[in-house]
Amino acid sequence: MAYVVTENCIRCKYMDCVTVCPVDCFREGDTMLVIDPDVCIDCGVCTPECPADAIRPDVEDGLRGWAAFNARYAPAWRPIARKGTPPPDAPAWDGVVGKLQSAFGVADPSLA
Ligand code: SF4
Ligand code: F3S
């Protein structure tokens, strides 16, 4: 089991999550973060820190695709342990439908 970053992180990228992770398992892409499932210790402290409510345990229904997405990109993206500056328009992207499609060109996270 691991926690996973899901679609609403895209273009919100608040990065509050990285400040609380005890094992620094977040990885940074251009528009969002993912969690390295091989490092995450399932502590769950990041979930309530996300203003976009984008972090979930991978055992929740419907998150298999997002678990695959996190596992795929974690080795390729850079480690991040300090909060950077969120996009200035982050609040405008909170809850927008179709962010995965617009940022990654697919509707299914397992295909990204
Ligand atoms: Fe880090 Fe814990 Fe969140 Fe996993 S569940 S990403 S170990 S804070
Ligand atoms: Fe993304 Fe939430 Fe972290 S928006 S960068 S998962 S605080």
The pLDDT of residue 99 is 98
3-state SS class at 55: strand
- How many Å lie between the centroid of ligand 2 and the Cα of residue 65? 18
**pLDDT per position as a tens digit, 54-89:** 999 999 999 999 999 999 999 999 999 999 999 999
Residues near 63 by beta carbon (within 8 Å), at least 6 away in sequence: 4, 6, 56, 57
pTM: 0.97
The pLDDT score that the predictor gives to residue 97 is: 97
The DSSP H or E segment spanning 56 is strand 55-57
The tens digit of pLDDT for each residue in 12-57 reads: 999 999 999 999 999 999 999 999 999 999 999 999 999 999 999 9
Taking the centre of ligand 2 as the mean of its atom positions, its distance from the CA of residue 86, in whole angstroms, is 9
pLDDT computed for residue 74 by the predictor: 98
What are the structural domains of the chain? 3-80 (3.30.70.20)
Question: 80: which residues sit within 8 A by CB, 6+ positions away?
Answer: 15, 18, 26, 27, 28, 33
How high is the mean pLDDT of the chain?
97
Ligand 2 pocket, Cβ-based, cut-off 6 angstroms: 5, 9, 12-17, 32-33, 50, 52, 54-55
